[in-house]
Structure 1
């Protein structure tokens, strides 16, 4: 499921980023690695680091879903949980010191994310089953991290890592929490035979 979300975000960026960023003859790669120097193999790259997954309690529903079948039976199941998947987005130019290209890449990603409040169905991965389309996308809001300094310090254990500018986005997905209840017959309403 999370891999399908990664594919969805990759599709969105690949189709929406301008072809001349950073230049006409340079392919921009999309990565989902931990963001430290040496982890991102192909550059220039946009890296989406999934750092937080939480249930969205505001969208929680306690109403059961009841599906009626033509044979008179019904299936009852809980509604899917809504889960917020939060990413830190960083740009990785060919040359680590090329801040201009890093900012150019981030600026174009920012435009794409702000263009969409929801991810349209055309970008959703084929294997992303059970989703309520379109997927909600929230961009450029405060992250769930207590401190970016602590985050980069933790990444600093990796050789050559320095703090980078980050964008933040959260996508809300649906997660089926259980299988359907066994089918049951409907209780009919008594209708006397009046002549």
Structure 2
């Protein structure tokens, strides 16, 4: 599922990025970045946190009518928040790498802000046709305790970052057949039983 989310984000960036020749990477942004196979300039999406989104939790059931006329019932999917750290990596041989990094990060930010949910045309693998849609946003809050500590742990120099989150629907419940579809309601109104005195 996470590999499908990565492929989805890559499709989004590759299709809508206004700058050409940009590589999309999901490698760890440590002191070894870029790994072999990643050509700069690049945008790195580092998945650093996965947790259930309790605000979107629901106990509702979804009913589906089968061709046979039977109804199956299933609990709504769990909602899982996936948090990414997004960084821009310019070509170091460029005349002004710092300026290129900011230009690249700004272009990614505008692209991500354009979409409140991932458009269906970019969904890949298991995410294709997924309902409900995938809400996405650049977040002010980070799931990291301290960004400075993060870069120290990564062994790399601090970089400007975007915190980006996508909420997945994860189907974890089995459906159960509950019976034939109810197509009409009958209400009988009448007098009560006569009593003899």
Q: TM-score range by the shorter chain?
A: 0.7 to 0.9
**Structure 1 unpaired stretches of 5+:** 21-26
Checking the alignment, whether the CA contact within 8 Å between 2:82 and 2:166 is kept in structure 1 is: yes
Matched, 1:169 2:164: yes
DSSP-derived class of the 1:119 partner: coil
Provide the rounded CA distance (Å) in 2 between the counterparts of 1:70 and 1:18: 46
1:38 aligns with 2:35: no
Residues matched between the structures, number: 180
> Partner of 1:125 in structure 2?
124
- Whole-angstrom CA distance in 1 between matches of 2:126 and 2:185: 46
SS, match of residue 138 in structure 1 = strand
TM-fit CA distance, 1:106: 0.3
**Counterpart in 2 of 1:145?**
144
Q: Does 1:179 align with 2:174?
A: yes
Q: Retained in 1: the 8 A contact 2:118–2:135? A: yes
CA shift digits 1:20-67 (9 cap, x unpaired): 5xxxxxx11000011113232321110000001111111111011121
TM-score, reference length from structure 2:
0.83
Alignment match, 1:23 = none
Residue segments in structure 2 that go unaligned for 5+ positions in a row: 187-197
Question: Which residue of 2 is the match for residue 66 of structure 1?
Answer: 63
Q: Which aligned runs of 4 or more in structure 1 are off by greater than 4 angstroms?
A: 187-191
Go from structure 1 to structure 2 and tell me whether the alpha carbon gap of 1:190 and 1:35 turns closer, same or farther (over 3 Å shift): closer
Whole-Å Cα distance in 2 between the matches of residues 45 and 190 of structure 1? Answer: 61
State the secondary structure of the residue aligned to 1:109. helix
Q: How far has the Cα of 1:187 moved from its partner?
A: 8.2
Offset, 1:126 = 4.5
Deviations 1:69-102 (A, max 9, x none): 2423221111101111110001111218821111
Aligned to 1:110: 109
Q: What residue in structure 1 maps to residue 23 of structure 2? A: 29
Is the aligned partner of 1:13 residue 2:13?
A: yes
CA contact (8 A) 2:70 2:178 kept: yes
Larger Rg: 2
| CA deviation vs aligned residue, 1:95-119 (integer Å, no higher than 9, x gap) | 1882111111101001101111111
